[in-house]
Amino acid sequence: MNATINPENKHFPVLLNELISIISPLYGGTFIDCTFGQGGYSKKILENKKNSIIALDRDKDVKIHATKFEFKYKSRFKFYNTKFSQLNFNNFKKYKIKGVLFDLGYSINQIKNSKKGLSFSDKGKLNMRMGINDISAHDIISNMNEENLTKIFKIFGEEKYSKKIAREIVKNRVNKIINTEDLVEIIDNIKKYHNRRIHNSTKVFQALRMLVNNEVSELINALIHAFNIIPVGGIIAVVTFHSIEDKIVKFFFKNYSEEKNTSRYLPDEVKSEKCFKLIRKKPILPSINEVKKNPPSRSAKLRYGIKVKNNCEFGDLRKKFKYLTDIEELR
């Protein structure tokens, strides 16, 4: 489960100091915080009075935090309750955008909200909707056939026992799988002797959450829109928490920061221009002290790129992860 919380149930923006060190040379403009949450990144950036924030979040429950920011920072802060895939150049071209930031984790408020049903540790409805959704996890569990459930758990959750879990769900779902604890019980019965390095239900819950919220296509579209919004010299920075989203972000920066032949039939001298400059190819990881303070941050990875040209084509990105967006079509 993506979570930016610690055992004392306090919210910590992950890799905050590292992120600020990356974007601080660009201070004196507007930054887009695509995953506002409780505003950890936004608050730090707004400490510099030369900066402004445009904040996005699909979760309507974060409006209470955004309202406080609007009151405190006035014209330097603007909030939109929308998906980050709906970033639109025309909406932001009047601003001096310096960078676009993504933290793909979840806050303590979201994890502990039983109405959202994100946590396998608390009893709650099988919801998992983060806002602006068509379906819930309960809809998927109740209606999807065994074959498709297996695919979802195997590919999105990388779950070894995907077929067995899907079979048991289909056998027991009529009036028996209503809450998160009902699903957890089924998974525990199948994985009772499994080595619990992580919670038995982690991978299935991840898979369901990703499908309910279209997380793959949301991320891909948002990265492309972010590139189109920032000027040359602007930064895109992304904090990921699990392997699938990190693969997407890694490919996005790595593939489009390398000069490649435009065609295999053309000579080596003819190369396509790269779209990003990477200061470092490997991700930035939390320090030992941060992990001690906030254990869930241990899985976080921060990657970023600096835009070096306009008009980049992202067909390779969509093609590379089509097998994942095809799974979303099973909804």
Question: In this structure, are residues 10 and 297 in contact, taking their beta carbons and an 8 Å threshold?
Answer: no
Beta-carbon contacts of residue 90 (< 8 Å; ≥ 6 apart): none
C-beta atoms surrounding 101 within 10 Å? 25
Which pLDDT belongs to residue 211?
Answer: 96
Q: Whole-prediction pTM value?
A: 0.90
Cα 99 from Cα 96, distance rounded (Å): 9
Say how many CA atoms lie within 13 Å of 267 toward its Cβ.
1
- In the predicted model, residues of the chain with pLDDT beneath 70 are 1-11, 106-122, 193-196, 260-273
* Rounded (5°) CA angle 34-6-15: 45
**Strands (DSSP E) found in 154-244:** 235-240
**Do 79 and 66 form a contact (C-beta atoms < 8 A)?**
yes
Query: C-alpha angle with apex 9: 5 to 15, nearest 5 degrees?
Result: 25
Looking at residue 11, its pLDDT comes to 63
CB of 241 closer than 8 Å to CB of 202:
no
Token digits of residue 23 = 């974007």
User: Domains plus CATH for the chain?
Assistant: 16-109+215-310 (3.40.50.150), 134-212 (1.10.150.170)
* DSSP for residue 242: S
4 and 13 Cβ atoms separated by less than 8 Å:
yes
Instruction: Render the burial of 296-322: b for 16+ CB within 10 Å, e for the rest.
Output: bbebbbbbbbbbeeeebebeebeebbe
**Distance of alpha carbon 177 from alpha carbon 203, whole angstroms:** 18
Give the model's pLDDT for residue 45. 98
Distance, CA of 186 to CA of 205 (rounded, Å): 13
Q: Phi, psi at residue 72, to the nearest 5°? A: -75, -40
